A and B are shown apart, each in its own frame.
Chain A
Amino acid sequence: MLSEIFRNLRKDFRVEFRNRAAINISIAFAGITTLAISLTAGGVSFSPRVQSIMLWIIMFFSAMNGLAHIFIREEEERTSLFLRLNSSLESVFLSKLLFNFIFFLILQVVICPLYIFFLQVDVKSPLLFLLILVSGGIAISSSTTILGAMVSKAGGKGSLFTVISFPILLPVLWIAITSTTDALEKRASAGFGNTLFFLAFSGVIISISFLLFKYIWVE
C-alpha cells in the first residue's frame, strides 16, 4: 500500500506542477491579498490579535482556491474512474491527504515571509509560531481532503468548497488565531497545548474521513 500511496502522490505532483494551476492561483491570491492589506494600511501597524486574524484569513481563503483541486481535477480530466480501478480506496485517500498537507505547507512557506515582511510583524516566540502554523496546517488539510472529494462530485461548483468547509474549520481557525496571537506576544503557556489540540482534531477528522471516504469515492 505504501508504494501505491507514493505512486499516486508522485503522479499528483507531476500533474500539478505540469500546469501549476492550483498552486499559482493560491499563491497569487495570497500575495495580492497581503499586498492589498499592506498598501491600504499605509504603514500603520496592527495589534498582534488583528495581525493573526488577517494571517489566518489569508491562509484560509488562499487554501480554499487549491485544496479541493486535487479531487476536482480527477473529475474534470475524467481520470477518477481509472484511479478507482487502479488504486485502493485507502491509498487514494492517503495520497490526496498527503498532497493537501504538502500543498498547504508550500502555501505557508510563501505566505508567512511575505506577510511578516509587508506588515512588519514581530514574532516574539518563533518556535510556537512555527508549531502553530504546521499543526494548524495539518488540521486544515486533513479536514478539507474529504470535503474536496464531496465538492468534486458536485462538479466543483463556485464557492461551494468554502461554504461547506467554513463551519467545519471554525474551531481550528479560532484556536489558531488565539495561539498565533500568543506567539506574537510571547505568551507561550497555552499555545503549546493548542498544538496538541490540532493534532487530536486532525486524528479524529482523519479517522472519520477514512471511514466515510468509500461512500463518496465509490459510485
Chain B
Amino acid sequence: MKATKLIFIMMPLSIFLAFMWAPPAEILGESSRIIYFHVPLAWGSVLAFVYSGIVSILFLADKKGKYTLLDERAYNSAGIGMVFTILAIISGAIWAKMSWGSYWNWDPRQTSITILMLIYIAYFSLHSALKDNESKGRICCSYLIFAMITVPLFIFIIPRMYPSLHPDPIINPERKLKLNAQMRTVLMISLFSFTLLYFYLLNLMNRISFIDNKYKEKYYEE
C-alpha cells in the first residue's frame, strides 16, 4: 500500500489550503473552515464502519481460510472509526457552539453520529468481554453485520422525527453541494486526504496485528 504514503503530501496540503486558500463562507465566517476537517472525519467514521462490516461478512463466508486475520482487520478498522467518530463529534460540537450557540442539541446529524459511536462502543465491549473465547472473531463479526443492517433505518427514521438545523438544508434546500469552487476543491482534497489517512492507519495496524500474530504463533510453538 505504497499509495497511502501520499498522505505525507496530501495532509499538509489540505491543512494549508483549508486555512490559507479557501475563503470564509458568507454567513458563517471563519468558523466555516471547520467543514474541511469535520466532514472528512464523519465520512471516515462511516467508511470505517462499512469496511468493518464488509470484512466481517468476508470473515464468516471464508470457510477455507483463504484470507488471514479478517476479524482483526475488522477490529482495527473499527478502532480507527471510533477515533474518527469522536473527533467528528467534537469538531461538530465546536461548530454548533459557534453557529447555534450550544454545543449539543440533538440535531438529526448529531444523533446519527452518536448512534454510530454507541455501536462502536458496544462492539468493543463485546470484543473485550470475549477476550479468551475461541469464537470471539465469529461473534464480534456477527454483531457488526447485525448492527450494519439497522444503521440504514436511522438514516430514514431520524430525519422524519426531528427537524434539522444542520447547514446543508439551510444553505440549499435541494440538498445539493452548493459551495464556492475554491471551497469545494479544498473540501474534496480534504476528503481524499482523510480517506488516505484512514487507509494508511489501517494498513499500519493490520501489519502490527500480523506481526503480533506471528509472534504469538512462534511463542506458543516453543
Q: How far is the CA of A28 from the CA of B122 in the complex (A)?
A: 27
Q: Is the CB of B146 within 8 A of A171?
A: no
Q: Is the CB of A154 within 8 A of B153?
A: no
Contact partner of B119 among A147, A167, A175, A204, CB < 8 A? A167
Q: Is the CB of A212 within 8 A of B145?
A: yes
List the one stretch of A87-95, A99-107, A158-166 in contact with chain B: A158-166
Q: How far is the CA of A208 from the CA of B146 in the complex (A)?
A: 7
Q: Is the CB of A166 within 8 A of B118?
A: yes
Minimal Cβ-Cβ distance residue in A for B124: A163
When each residue 100-132 of chain B gets 1 if its CB lies under 8 Å from chain A and 0 otherwise, what string results?
A: 000000000000000100110111011001100
Q: Tally inter-chain residue pairs, CB-CB below 8 A.
A: 79
Q: Is B217 an interface residue (CB 8 A)?
A: no
- Minimum Cβ distance to chain B for residue A2 (Å): 26
Q: How far is the CA of A201 from the CA of B149 in the complex (A)?
A: 10
Minimal Cβ-Cβ distance residue in B for A155: B129
Minimal Cβ-Cβ distance residue in A for B60: A215
| Interface size of A as a range | 20 to 34
Q: Is the CB of B134 within 8 A of A146?
A: no
Q: How far is the CA of A216 from the CA of B122 in the complex (A)?
A: 17
Q: Is the CB of A174 within 8 A of B157?
A: yes
A219 contact set on B, CB distance < 8 A: 134-135
Q: Is A80 an interface residue (CB 8 A)?
A: no
Q: Is B39 an interface residue (CB 8 A)?
A: no
A153-B133 contact, Cβ under 8 Å, with A212-B145, A215-B60, A215-B139: yes
Q: Is the CB of B138 within 8 A of A164?
A: no
Q: Is the CB of A174 within 8 A of B161?
A: yes
Contact partner of B147 among A153, A168, A201, A216, CB < 8 A? A168
Main SS of the interface on chain B? helix
Q: Is the CB of A171 within 8 A of B129?
A: no
Q: Is B142 an interface residue (CB 8 A)?
A: yes
- Minimum Cβ distance to chain B for residue A126 (Å): 24
Q: Is A209 an interface residue (CB 8 A)?
A: yes
Q: Is the CB of A150 within 8 A of B122?
A: no
Q: Is the CB of A171 within 8 A of B125?
A: no
A147 contact set on B, CB distance < 8 A: 143, 146
Q: Is the CB of B142 within 8 A of A216?
A: yes
Contact partner of A164 among B143, B149, B158, CB < 8 A? B143
Q: Which of A150, A157, A209 has the most CB of B within 10 A?
A: A150
Q: How far is the CA of A171 from the CA of B119 in the complex (A)?
A: 13
When each residue 146-160 of chain B gets 1 if its CB lies under 8 Å from chain A and 0 otherwise, what string results?
A: 110110011001100
When each residue 175-219 of chain A gets 1 if its CB lies under 8 Å from chain B and 0 otherwise, what string results?
A: 100100000000000000000000001001100110010011001
Q: Is the CB of B143 within 8 A of A167?
A: no
Q: How far is the CA of A209 from the CA of B149 in the complex (A)?
A: 11
Minimal Cβ-Cβ distance residue in B for A159: B125
Contact partner of B135 among A146, A160, A170, A216, CB < 8 A? A216
Q: How far is the CA of A150 from the CA of B141 in the complex (A)?
A: 11
Q: Is the CB of A164 within 8 A of B154?
A: no
B154 contact set on A, CB distance < 8 A: 170-171
B157 contact set on A, CB distance < 8 A: 171, 174-175
Q: Is the CB of A166 within 8 A of B122?
A: yes
Q: Can you report 26 A-B residue pairs in the complex whose CB atoms are below 8 A from each other?
A: A146-B142, A147-B143, A150-B126, A150-B139, A151-B126, A153-B133, A153-B135, A154-B126, A154-B130, A154-B139, A155-B129, A160-B129, A163-B121, A164-B123, A164-B125, A164-B143, A167-B122, A168-B147, A171-B154, A174-B157, A205-B149, A212-B60, A215-B138, A215-B141, A215-B142, A216-B138
Q: Which residues of A contact B (CB under 8 A)?
A: 146-147, 150-151, 153-155, 157, 160, 163-164, 166-168, 170-171, 174-175, 178, 201, 204-205, 208-209, 212, 215-216, 219
List 18 other contacts, CB 8 Å, given A146-B142, A164-B143: A147-B143, A150-B126, A151-B129, A153-B133, A155-B129, A160-B126, A164-B126, A167-B118, A167-B147, A170-B115, A174-B161, A201-B153, A204-B149, A205-B150, A212-B142, A212-B146, A215-B60, A215-B139
7 closest Cβ pairs, A-B complex? A154-B129, A167-B118, A164-B122, A212-B142, A215-B138, A167-B119, A171-B153
